[in-house]
Structure 1
């Protein structure tokens, strides 16, 4: 299951802020600080709410907690993100992993993003090789690292992968693969389709339906 980094970051921020205010209360009231866990920190602050309401910094506390609530709401209400690992980042000196990623109901096509450096990103059609069987040559290696990496990766996806990335019913994927003659390969008894063919067909379908 893909890690929801936004949720992790918000939870970390919540823990940090609550622990900071709990530390202030414990120090100024001469009491033991609670465990560094959100339920314990929240309960501790609520028990000292009357004292906090009269503290000179109560405005800052209120502002920080409100900000955390907004951040948490954005994570909870965000459209589900789908991702599929496609290999190591090919940007020189970067040790991150590339994932093909899409956000449901966003209206934007999938893109390839580095998990370590989000600035390393490309739209999926930029990442895909024009010819799935091409090999990166000297010109690719020297002048176009992106297409060299794409050719080396040769992105082939299962019908399930395609349905997940483009939020399309699997029946539609199989139908388009047959109608449009998508290139395919078999590995260990499973069929994989060329992602470039899927990209073109599903983009055309989206334009016709207005999605």
Structure 2
């Protein structure tokens, strides 16, 4: 019987599991990661609107809590949903099974249920790598490294506007308290901006 080594990077050659493209440790890790993604997706929601950690407890007047938009957490949540949807669609199409609900918990549970089938398919390595990248991205967004932090910049959500939105607290100072604004002057409440951007992302995905 011919044994093949796992195609993913390991410190030593590990044989693939029976009937799988991946080795047993990779399959087990993949299942664990899939089960953690719904929790990370929910946790990311609490980090989208972040409060500046710099506070002066001795300052009584003139201080104001400044919320700012955590674009990394928003993108991490959107990526979890989009990538899980994509792989669930692959299973539905190739395995001819009913589609799951479109929520992250439903999608993750569906992929775990069909994990044995998925890991036996040619793109199993790509699937495992993408799922692991979702976990890493989410953890970084929730608990970023303090060194070299740089607030991400996104394009304005207003059609044909060339402005950009900086998610750092200084950008919020040009808008109303609790809001953000683009460099061309458009401003929103943060929750309103999140809704608009999510709708735009969904429209672009459906169009694609």
Q: TM-score, normalised by structure 2?
A: 0.40
Bigger radius of gyration, 1 or 2? Answer: 1
Higher relative contact order (CA 8 A, sep 6+): 2
Higher share in strand: 1
